[in-house]
Amino acid sequence: MSIRGTEIKIEGLSQRYPTRKVPTFNRVDLVSPPGEALAIIGRSGCGKSTLLHILAGITRGTEGRVLLNGTEVNGPSPRWVMMFQAPHLYPWMTVTENVGVGLTFARWGKKEIAERVAEAIRLVELQDFAQANVQDLSGGQQQRVALARSLVMEPELLLLDEPFSALDAFTRAALQKDVRAISKRLGFNIVLVTHDIDEAVIMADRAVIMAGSPGDIVHEMDVDLPDPRDRTDPEVQRLRARLMATFQEAANYKKPEVSLAAGAGR
Amino acid sequence: MSGNTAAASGMVSAGVTGNCLSRALKATAHNSVHFFVGLIALGAIWWAAIYYVTLDPEMVGFRDFSPASTFAAFPEIWEDGTIQAALATSGSRLGWGLGLAILIGVPIGIVFGRVRWFQNLFNVPFQFMRMISPLSWEPIAVVVFTGWEEAIIFLIAIASIWPVVFSTAAGLSKVDPNWFKVARNLGAKPYHMVTRIIIPAIMFDVLTGIRLALGVAWIVIIPAEFLGVTSGFGYAIEDARESLEYAHLMAFVVSIGAVGYVLDTICVLLIKRYSWHRG
């Protein structure tokens, strides 16, 4: 499996809904280099999930644009694939069929599909369940199938919308480590939306904090830690405490009036 | 050590397989007992009813309706080919009518279940049409169509289309919208949504609708064949009644029940085969 990362450029991105007075977020700028794992942290309602949906091409921003290696995101593409909070697998398909479904949409040949699917299933360590019905798997195993279904497309960017929030603590910790390890081995970018500080510290190279109404990126912090990362490591705990303090500080953030006026006037 | 473990796991596996087989055989035996006891009970009620009625000397003619006379008539109507001909003709009409209902009903059901404005617009007309007795269309069908054959097929189609439409639509309403979101995210085109997501997702409901439709169609076809045509089970019953061959009439009635039961069982097997629902 050969995957390259991508440079993500978010330029002046805004999102407003006609029914709301205040935009969800206003003129957001962000750059992420190829291969980076970026965590977007923020409280509910700050617009982080909306930002992720725009990155995935599922929703369109009202202003600004998103560029991936210079290509503007105008809709969904196998090059940028999203993993949701729940795995949303197709229950009438086996694990193998679920993992290969995106390749069948792209009209790949049967032999190539079989090879790539087998490799993706091996990556998420579900070889013994390849022919199982997905309804017979545990929540963690189902989320691994969803991960394999995303990886098989060889995306440049994997978008994760709180993907492990429904799992138990042990499974969540294992998957967080595995996803990071796979992304580093294969070289694709990750953009992770979460409100879990631990998750950001374990999975990301950099964390940005969104806050305010309209939402904005108010802080960012490099998560410069060696792999594999362990929650009990004092260095991990120190960084976690720093990130938590920054997050709490951001909770009191108010966007400057001038920025709001400039956004509203455009 | 590992050899012992393998042997032990093999024994455990053989034991589990043996238990499963034993449970399956027990379940089959249990079901078979219910099947035959139910049939025997039905036969007993039938026999007792005819016996009781024929105690009255004026009602002796009803003996031809008895189980013994009915089963004695089977070889006769089988040898002269009446059953085979009726089965072929009624089966063909049923196939055409039900086929049309499925061909038209499933796409309408998909649109009805998926497109809100279509559902709002056609809910009342469809419910109105559904409540019209299929046989009340017969005089209209005879006028509209050039032959009775087409009229009967129309009656079967109009009777069986509604269960297909409403079951398909009900299936659509249960489809998880996230399945579409995931599919779009993985590059699915609109026809992939239909062939890879919608149809497999609603197959259980479509087949359940077809099963209901089959029941309705099989009920409608008999009275529809009473008039105008000279073939099929409906005609065979009417002909036997006019010829006063009551044993033959009952043999046809039993055949209709048996054929209906077999068709329903095929539907149940198909539903089991294509259902992905658990529990």
Q: Do B186 and A81 touch (CB under 8 A)?
A: yes
Is A74 at the interface with chain B, CB within 8 A?
no
Spell out which residues of chain B touch residue A82, defining contact as CB-CB under 8 Å: 185
Q: What is residue B1's predicted lDDT score, i.e. its pLDDT?
A: 39
Is A17 at the interface with chain B, CB within 8 A?
no
Catalogue all structural domains in chain A, each as residue range(s) with its CATH number. 34-64+74-79+155-251 (3.40.50.300), 88-154 (no CATH)
Q: What is residue A254's predicted lDDT score, i.e. its pLDDT?
A: 60
pLDDT band at B164 (very low <50, low <70, confident <90, very high): very high
Distinct helix (H) and strand (E) counts, chain A? 8, 10
3-state secondary structure A147-178: HHHHHCCCCCEEEEECCCCCCCHHHHHHHHHH
Determine the Cα–Cα distance for residues A237 and B180; give it in Å rounded to an integer. 40
pLDDT band at B96 (very low <50, low <70, confident <90, very high): very high
pLDDT band at B158 (very low <50, low <70, confident <90, very high): very high
Say whether pLDDT at B5 is over 90: no
Q: Do A90 and B197 touch (CB under 8 A)?
A: yes
Determine the Cα–Cα distance for residues B211 and B270; give it in Å rounded to an integer. 10
> In the beta sheet, which residues pair with residue A9?
A31, A67
Q: What is the mean pLDDT of chain A?
A: 86
Say whether pLDDT at A156 is over 50: yes
Spell out which residues of chain B touch residue A81, defining contact as CB-CB under 8 Å: 185-186
CA of A83: which chain B residue's CA is closest? B182
Q: What is residue A207's predicted lDDT score, i.e. its pLDDT?
A: 92
CA distance, residue A261 to nearest chain B CA (Å)? 35
Neighbours of B23 (CB within 10 A): 10
Determine the Cα–Cα distance for residues B169 and B110; give it in Å rounded to an integer. 6
Q: What is the pLDDT of residues A90-125, one digit of tens each?
A: 999 999 999 999 999 988 889 999 999 998 898 888
pLDDT band at A1 (very low <50, low <70, confident <90, very high): low
Q: Give me the half-sphere count of Cα atoms (radius 13 Å) on the Cβ side of residue A252.
A: 4
**Over the Cα atoms of chain B, what is R_g?**
25
Q: Give me the half-sphere count of Cα atoms (radius 13 Å) on the Cβ side of residue B198.
A: 20
Nearest to A56 among B178, B183, B185 (CB): B185
pLDDT higher at A173 or B2: A173
Q: What is the pLDDT of residues A239-265, one digit of tens each?
A: 899 888 888 887 766 655 544 444 444
Q: What is residue A257's predicted lDDT score, i.e. its pLDDT?
A: 53
A31's tokens: 């750059």
Is A174 at the interface with chain B, CB within 8 A?
no
Give me the DSSP letters along A34-94.
Answer: TT-EEEEEE-TTSSHHHHHHHHHTSS--SEEEEEETTEE--S-BTTEEEE-SS----TTSB
Determine the Cα–Cα distance for residues B263 and B188; give it in Å rounded to an integer. 37
Average pLDDT over residues A195-200: 88
CA of B178: which chain A residue's CA is closest? A88
pLDDT band at A165 (very low <50, low <70, confident <90, very high): confident
Interface size, chain A vs chain B, as Cβ–Cβ contacts under 8 Å: 54
Strand order in the sheet with A157-161: A80-83, A157-161, A189-194, A37-42, A206-211, A216-222
- List the one residue out of B278, B234, B277, B241 whose CA is nearest residue B259: B234
Nearest to A90 among B179, B184, B278 (CB): B179
**Does a cis peptide bond (omega within 30 degrees of 0) precede residue B190?**
no
With a CB-CB cutoff of 8 Å, which residues 88-107 of chain A face chain B? 88, 90-93, 101-102, 104-106
Q: Give me the half-sphere count of Cα atoms (radius 13 Å) on the Cβ side of residue A137.
A: 27
Q: What is residue A211's predicted lDDT score, i.e. its pLDDT?
A: 81
Q: What is residue B15's predicted lDDT score, i.e. its pLDDT?
A: 55
Say whether pLDDT at B9 is over 60: no
Nearest to B200 among A92, A102, A135 (CB): A92
CA of B191: which chain A residue's CA is closest? A105
A33's tokens: 């280099």
Q: What is residue A49's predicted lDDT score, i.e. its pLDDT?
A: 87
Neighbours of A232 (CB within 10 A): 6
Average pLDDT over residues B227-235: 88
- List the one residue out of A262, A50, A89 whose CA is nearest residue B276: A89
Q: What is the pLDDT of residues A59-73, one digit of tens each?
A: 888 889 999 988 899
CA distance, residue A58 to nearest chain B CA (Å)? 7
Q: Do B183 and A105 touch (CB under 8 A)?
A: yes
Determine the Cα–Cα distance for residues A151 and B25; give it in Å rounded to an integer. 44
Is A108 at the interface with chain B, CB within 8 A?
no
Average pLDDT over residues A151-169: 86
- List the one residue out of A215, A219, A220, A221 whose CA is nearest residue A255: A215
Least confident interval from A26-35, A66-75, B15-24, B141-150: B15-24
Is A44 at the interface with chain B, CB within 8 A?
no
Average pLDDT over residues A229-238: 88
Q: Which of B185, B191, B199, B202 to mutate to test the interface with A (most CBs of A within 10 A)?
A: B185
End-to-end, the C-alpha distance of chain B in Å comes to: 40
Q: What is the pLDDT of residues A40-49, one digit of tens each?
A: 998 877 888 8
pLDDT higher at B133 or B23: B133
pLDDT band at B23 (very low <50, low <70, confident <90, very high): confident
Q: What is residue B6's predicted lDDT score, i.e. its pLDDT?
A: 44
Q: What is the pLDDT of residues A25-34, one digit of tens each?
A: 888 899 999 9
- The answer to whether A24 and A87 have CB atoms below 8 angstroms apart is no
Q: What is residue B17's predicted lDDT score, i.e. its pLDDT?
A: 58
Q: What is the mean pLDDT of chain B?
A: 88
pLDDT band at A205 (very low <50, low <70, confident <90, very high): very high
Nearest to B185 among A58, A91, A133 (CB): A58
Name the residue type at position A55. Answer: L
Say whether pLDDT at B247 is over 50: yes
Q: What is residue B4's predicted lDDT score, i.e. its pLDDT?
A: 47
How far is the CA of B254 from the CAs of B31, B123, B220, in angstroms? 22, 38, 16
Say whether pLDDT at B18 is over 90: no
pLDDT band at B16 (very low <50, low <70, confident <90, very high): low
Q: Do B185 and A101 touch (CB under 8 A)?
A: no
Strand order in the sheet with A25-32: A25-32, A8-15, A63-68, A71-72
Percent of chain A with pLDDT over 70: 93
Element (H, E) at B169: helix B148-173
Nearest to B186 among A86, A105, A135 (CB): A105
CA of B279: which chain A residue's CA is closest? A135
Average pLDDT over residues B235-253: 92
Residue with tokens 């529990």: B279
Per DSSP, the three-state class of B276 is: coil
Q: What is residue B47's predicted lDDT score, i.e. its pLDDT?
A: 92
Per DSSP, the three-state class of A27 is: strand
**Over the Cα atoms of chain A, what is R_g?**
19
